[in-house]
Amino acid sequence: MITNSAIGIDLGTANILVYSKNKGIVFNEPSVVAVDTSTKKVLAVGQEAKEMIGKTPGRIVAIRPLKDGVIADYDITTEMLKYVIKKASKKVGFTMKKPTIVVCTPSGSTSVERRAIQDAVRNAGAKKVILIEEPIAAAIGADLPVDEPIGNLIVDIGGGSTEAAIISYGGVVACQSIRIGGDRLDEDIVQYVRKQYNLLIGERTAEQIKINIGYALVDHDAVSMDIRGRDLLTGLPKTISITSFEIRDAMKESLLQIIEAIRATLEESPAELSGDIVDLGVILTGGGALLNGMQQWVNEEIIVPVHLAPNPLESVAIGTGKSLNYIEKIQKTV
């Protein structure tokens, strides 16, 4: 049963979102922590910490404690969660109570990785921690009928991973999870610019390039963008112009791996559910679903209707919070 002291957390590689039944999304900031390496003290969390990336003196480092959807730095993740839970609790209005927290985990995560997430959330101040698989949370957040015996294919393209899952009757029937997402696309852009132009750019610049002129593998009218970085030959600042065709080619290999994961999931589908997927189509969620041309490209590649979730960036967080309504049925199948 859902209670007012329960919140859902989307512990994403790129962003952390917190959902409350009564208030909706109450926290949405980058999964970044700024730490003073000399004192080990946390200086900033979220948007403030992200602003520091690549701009801090030597003793201050901006860390992403989550990698590929799982915890890479346990202590920093716990500190980040304490900050997130405290801030979210004030907005929701249960400052005196320890909340029950539902948190999602990648379906491809190991039992050790899941335990680490559970322990970190509990140590950050949770009364009770319930884990839910990310594809199920994404499907609930996208308003799909997860508790009915109907096959739904959800593709969640997050910052650290992509998960393609067929969900029926509250459980995952078939799933492919690959550790490729928005962060890998950013890295592809950084490496391309370095190799082609001998120009070093930061991850924030790469992300802006991806958002502004990044395209899935579809035909489009070329657009260009001026970008700034450090010339690796002279060491001096330099500005170049780059086109959307170049960025598309830079991301091509990673995008093809995402489509292969979707195809592999479809191949694992039981025959009875395949008909449902042909009728209902594929639902895209996650930040990667917003890449220019992504919906059109996936549709062309798998020849099945492709739909964008109502709110791709918040689907997992909303589903994590709403999952308390389904939790008994889900826990029997997880």
Phi, psi at 173, each rounded to 5°: -85, -40
Q: Residues 175-202: pLDDT tens digits?
A: 999 989 999 999 999 999 999 999 999 9
Q: Residues 299-325: pLDDT tens digits?
A: 999 888 999 999 999 999 998 888 877
In terms of pTM, does the model score above 0.95?
no
Residues 252 and 330: their CA atoms lie apart, in Å, by 36
DSSP E strand boundaries for the chain: 6-11, 15-20, 24-30, 33-36, 41-45, 60-63, 66-67, 70-71, 100-105, 128-133, 152-157, 162-168, 171-178, 199-200, 224-231, 237-243, 282-285, 306-308
- Across the range 232-249, mean pLDDT stands at 95
Tell me the CB-side half-sphere exposure of residue 2, using CA atoms within 13 A. Answer: 15
**Per-residue CA distances from 35 to 58, 62, 65, 264, 276 (Å):** 11, 6, 11, 41, 49
Average pLDDT taken over every residue of the chain? 88
Q: Would you state the pLDDT for residue 39?
A: 83
Q: Would you state the pLDDT for residue 333?
A: 40
- Across the range 157-166, mean pLDDT stands at 91
pLDDT(329) > 60 = no
Task: Name the strand (E) or helix (H) holding 136.
Answer: helix 134-141
Supply angle C-alpha 321, 151, 288, rounded to 5: 55
Q: Are 65 and 78 in contact (CB under 8 A)?
A: no
Supply angle C-alpha 201, 203, 206, rounded to 5: 70
Q: Would you state the pLDDT for residue 144?
A: 87
Q: Residues 9-24: pLDDT tens digits?
A: 998 888 999 998 888 8
The length of the chain, given as a count of residues: 334
Q: Residues 61-102: pLDDT tens digits?
A: 888 898 877 888 888 999 898 888 888 888 877 654 788 888
Task: Walk me through the domains of the chain, giving residue ranges and CATH numbers.
Answer: 6-138+316-333 (3.30.420.40), 146-180+255-308 (3.30.420.40), 182-250 (3.90.640.10)
Q: Would you state the pLDDT for residue 68?
A: 76
- Residue 159 carries which side chain, given as an amino acid letter? G
Report the C-alpha dihedral over residues 154, 103, 42, 72, rounded to 10 degrees.
Answer: -60
- Residue 290 carries which side chain, given as an amino acid letter? L
Q: Residues 97-139: pLDDT tens digits?
A: 788 888 988 887 888 989 999 999 999 888 889 898 889 999 9
Q: Are 110 and 118 in contact (CB under 8 A)?
A: no
